[in-house]
Amino acid sequence: MNHNQGIGRQSAGNITLPMAENNDVAERLRLFSPTVDNGEMPSKETDDEPQNTGQNRAPTMGSNRGPKQMKFFVFMRHISLRNLFRILGCLIGTYPWCFLLVAFLMASLSLGMLKLKLRDRVRDGYTPATSQARYETDVLKEFLGSQGDPLLTIVLLRALDGGSMHRPKHLNEAVELHSYLRKNITASFRREEADESEPSEMVRYEDICGRFCDANVAVDYFYKTLVSEITRHKSGKKAYAGTKLIYPIAKLSGYDLHLERNFYGVRQRNTTDPLLESKVNETIIDKDDDVEALRAVTPIEHIEAVIMTFRGEISHPDDEAKMSAWEMKVYEFSNHLNSSLLEVLVLGSEIVDYEMNKDAQKTAPYFVMGFCFMFSFTFYTLLAGSFFYAVLDWAKLALALGISLCPTLAITSTFGICSLVGLRTNSVMLLMPFLICGIGVNDAFLITHAWHRTAGQTANSAQFIPRRLGLVLEDVGPSITITTLTNVITFGIGALTPTPEISLFCLATAIALGFAYLYTLVLFVPFIYFATIVENDAHKSNQSFFGTLCQSARYKLYCNTLTHPLCLIVLAIGTLVYWYFAIMGTLNINAKLDTEKILPKDCPILEPHRLISHMVWTEYYPVTVLVNNPLDIRSKYQLDRFNSMLDEFESLKLCKGKQYTQIWLRDYIQYWNMVKEFGFDYFDTQKDTANTPASETGIDFSKLSQFLSSPFHKHHGVFLRLNNDTSPDAVPISKFWFVVTFHNTTSWDERIDLMVEWRRVADNYQDLNVTVWEVNGMFVDQMLSLKSLTLQTTVLTLACMTVVCAIFIQNPVSVAVAVAAIGSISIGVIGYLSWWHLNLDPVTLCAVLMSIGMSVDFTAHVTYHFQLTYKREMQIGTIVEVPLRSGKDKMYHTIQAIAWPMSQAGLSTVICVIPLIFLQNYIPLVFVKTVTLVVIWGLFHGLVLLPAILAALPSELLELNCYRKLFERVNPSNKRSDQEFETTKMDGGLLKCLPTHQCKDNLSQPSPSEDTKIDEMTINRT
């Protein structure tokens, strides 16, 4: 085929540049070359007389410009996005199979999905890496000598009949279950890098519990003492002296046994006021044979749940994976346990991650449903467009398939490349395909619409397809590049956020959007090439006159309506109302994390989570306080400082009381005084005759080793970090921690306030180097950082949008309007999500980032087309430039170019995510609501508000081009004047102009003599 028809050769001098496909490039280069009085290019004869040209005319670039500068500005003048896309379109039309091969190679990245790993980190994945909670966790890890974050598995036991758990049969089974979980439950563990031939390691809890093995010993002690007291009661003996089985602190032989950490929902008789005795569950308890004995030995009448905590000591990097494997084994065991007495519920971070991923995988059939909806919508709208332009044929089915393949392959390639580089896939990333299926087809809709508008305007020959594709990509290529680049940058900024789960989602979305753009060019445009061949064979006539007339009348009516003064007034009032509710909603949105909403509705861990949130944390909400500097209890100043800090913690609101504080020092002082009083230490195994330093407080560390050897106090060893310095003056405890108990924390607001107060108190005692740690610290920091993180991300994203739009749109007014529209849409989405009863949480933050990216699609296309000073179209097989002078001309061109594909894009996006509403889970519903709002406000801004505002602005403001002004300052002769155009009246009075120099390509009359020539254009050297 000959693709160089209608191209002439221009030459002058000896500096040559390859000539482009049509004479438009020649026209633009002519502006940098010497001109004759009529404004046309010098003829060949003129070029043959350099002595006349050089003497009679001044050089174009000015006398102070050298040839290298001239060539540079000539080159830069041609490096425009529109020209590059025209060349790309011609290349695709010339070598379609090569681009299909590129698409095939890109699609081969999808094979990486074979290594796909689904894994969440719900506990800390939504917490910024720079948060204070992570620092506090690192301090605790350092204290424990741990190689990983603290891991906690909780086992909740309830009576199946709804009765009390302190009945001997039920409590006995709880104790036996505890022993079985510790010693008999084994999990298979294998390192990821281990060879397949290497046998798996069998792991038990006893292998990894370390110093936390006896965390639930209170349940065993209480059960043994209860059985012993019942036996004594039945035999008529009195209870042991010093033994009281009361809640929350029982007495065993005079020593305290804290029960509040293991028994919950406890109700007991008031031993001082019989009128206040509880009558709870008497009907059930009375059926038990041991009821009378129970009432005789303990005032406890009801225990709703027994909770056992299993914490691993992560002393080796593999221990975290071992603990996770053991936790999943316990979860599996609880799901298959058949007990006639107990209900066993298990909860842990690994279980939550497993259930979140399991629920996320349920989106697969809904994605298939959304894909089918999207394909059907694409196919029917493509048929409608083809029918309207009188080019309906069977190839449109292949085009619909090509449109649908682009986002699909983008999704699979993204998952493939993420898996190949070792990135995990979280549950939020599984919502990315719905987003990409909706957004990824937008570029294809614009290309298809531009391709339809050129239907019937070229000769029905395959050799003209490259030029038609060049014209199509020249029209839409820059705008789809702007939107893709801004989308990728938006999610790229999100990928840089310090929140790991959000970062993964944004990174995957940015990669997928980039792939969708590339697939559109290298896969879908070649599909258009082959569809054009079928179209040329099937349709020999031009577009119907009726279709053109209807289209023109419809667009003119819409443009006239938007530019009517009454319409502008209504729009101004409506926009103010929209902004009022959007701003009010944005200011009043609450930063709140409701973990129950995030969990799937039919998830089996909802019940244990509810019990922990509403029963356990209401009765027992501990904070761990770490004192990281040595405390010398012999120094009155240091001891007073510590006691002052302890009193400040215990006087905070919602503190349960100092009797519930678990601290070694108070027990040690009691032990010291007891030994001093009796003058004998039963646990002293060696006689120390060394002199101890004088103490200002009356106590010292001389009894510490005996204290930690006592069976009643040895558990305090977990709270202390001892050093090896045995000198008399040394402080044997380098650091320690203690636990203060709070209660009635029924909401996240109260937990956040408590964390803020704890940190405030800790900061007041920097000389002791105090830090606090609480299991919900990560979630608290998530909520504390949400507003600031959202604001920072939004501002940074808008700043990047401004830079990108300024590079490609080049008109400062259009850039300002586009960025303002993006901000308006984003505020509208956030504000109306607030009115839609959604809070600001990590899921909403992802949705906000998504809305900013999507809003670009509804603004950049409009502002880019509005700032154009001319359009290029085909008229009777000829490419002509048509200047756009008035605001109504620009509006007509913009609406004609993007109104229908923008509507297609918005509707297809909503259609893709609609199936997610059938899941009825929080995360999918947030995305559905967000996408719906983005599409509604985006279409309002893109098709109504922006065109009306831009059309009302003076044309001079929209035609101001920063780059053009730069070139005009360098070369004043570079400016194209209005006298270069000869105007005519066409299409209902809309201005259409042909340049007087007739810069065009004659597409219908190819010249056989030019079949094999390689055209070159030469430029005079001044």
CA distances from 757 to 613, 690, 741 (A): 21, 44, 14
Q: Quote the CA–CA distance of 413 and 104 in Å, as a whole number.
A: 11
Using an 8 Å Cβ cutoff, are 333 and 97 in contact?
Answer: no
For residue 622, which phi and psi values (nearest 5 degrees)? -90, 155
Instruction: Show the CA angle centred on residue 609, arms to residues 923 and 502, nearest 5°.
Output: 35
- Nearest Cα to 245, choosing from 265, 264, 219? 219
**How would you classify residue 29: left for phi > 0, otherwise alpha for psi between -120 and 50, otherwise beta?**
alpha
What is the signed CA dihedral for 447, 452, 453, 455, rounded to 10 degrees?
Answer: 130
Q: Quote the CA–CA distance of 853 and 859 in Å, as a whole number.
A: 11
All residues at 6 or more sequence positions from 354 whose CB lies less than 8 Å from its CB, including other chains? 328, 331
The 3-state DSSP class for residue 6 equals coil
Using an 8 Å Cβ cutoff, are 129 and 500 in contact?
Answer: yes
What is the signed CA dihedral for 408, 409, 411, 417, rounded to 10 degrees?
Answer: 170
Residue 963 has a CB neighbour count (10 Å cut-off) of: 13
Q: Quote the CA–CA distance of 126 and 782 in Å, as a whole number.
A: 6
Say what the pLDDT of residue 965 is. 59
DSSP state of 694: P
The 3-state DSSP class for residue 274 equals helix
Say what the pLDDT of residue 998 is. 36
pLDDT digits over 261-282, tens only? 999 999 988 754 443 344 444 4
Residues of the chain where predicted confidence (pLDDT) is lower than 50: 1-63, 272-286, 540-545, 689, 976-1022
Using an 8 Å Cβ cutoff, are 438 and 853 in contact?
Answer: no
Helix ranges restricted to H, 858-916? 860-866, 887-913
Say what the pLDDT of residue 70 is. 61
pLDDT digits over 195-235, tens only? 666 778 888 998 888 888 888 989 999 999 999 888 888 88
Say what the pLDDT of residue 693 is. 65
Using an 8 Å Cβ cutoff, are 187 and 350 in contact?
Answer: no
Say what the pLDDT of residue 968 is. 56
Give helix then strand counts, H and E, for the chain: 39, 18
CA distances from 888 to 354, 564, 820, 982, 991 (A): 58, 11, 22, 20, 10
Q: Quote the CA–CA distance of 334 and 153 in Å, as a whole number.
A: 13
* Helical axes 432-439 vs 500-519, angle rounded to 10°: 30
The 3-state DSSP class for residue 462 equals helix
pTM of the model: 0.76
Full set of structural domains in the chain with CATH? 147-358 (no CATH), 361-588+782-960 (1.20.1640.10), 621-742+745-775 (no CATH)
Instruction: Show the CA angle centred on residue 792, arms to residues 788 and 795, nearest 5°.
Output: 135
Q: Quote the CA–CA distance of 110 and 519 in Å, as a whole number.
A: 13
Q: How many CA atoms lie within 13 A of 768 on its CB side?
A: 27
Task: Classify residue 984 as exposed, middle or buried by CB count within 10 Å of its CB (0-12, 13-18, 19+).
Answer: exposed
Using an 8 Å Cβ cutoff, are 794 and 852 in contact?
Answer: yes
Using an 8 Å Cβ cutoff, are 406 and 520 in contact?
Answer: yes
What is the signed CA dihedral for 682, 688, 693, 696, rounded to 10 degrees?
Answer: 10
Say what the pLDDT of residue 569 is. 92
